[in-house]
Amino acid sequence: ARSNTYSQIFEGLRKLFTTAESAREDFALREAEEGMQHVLDANVTVELMPQNAYIRRLQHELVAKHNLKSTSVGKEPRRRVMILPG
């Protein structure tokens, strides 16, 4: 049996982290899509869960792509996107 090398361990951890980060992005973008649908259906403001700056930017871009408005509210680490009705 051969022991793991540093590079094998590093690569395994990188894949694990990338998968977790990707899952977090997917969840946040799905939440934004559902939030946009709720804004359109009920004409109400929707606040999303707090996210880091990178994910908030992705959410803002997605909202803008669907011709809706959004803003960020709150202070770090609870800063979050708010989707506004038309």
- Tell me what pLDDT residue 1 has: 55
| DSSP-based helix, strand, coil % in the chain, nearest 5 | 60, 15, 30
Two structure tokens written together for 14:
């990188």
pTM assigned to the model:
0.83
Closest CA to 59 of 22, 41, 51, 75: 51
pLDDT digits (tens, 9 = 90+) for 48-62: 999 999 999 999 999
Question: Using CA atoms, how far apart are residues 25 and 51, in angstroms rounded to an integer?
Answer: 9
In which band, very low, low, confident or very high, does the pLDDT at 86 lie, cut at 50, 70 and 90? confident
Torsional class of 73: left (φ above 0), alpha (ψ -120 to 50), beta (otherwise): beta
Q: Is the pLDDT of residue 70 over 90?
A: yes
Question: Which residues make beta-bridge pairs with 71?
Answer: 82
Calculate mean pLDDT across residues 17-26. Answer: 91
- Tell me what pLDDT residue 38 has: 98
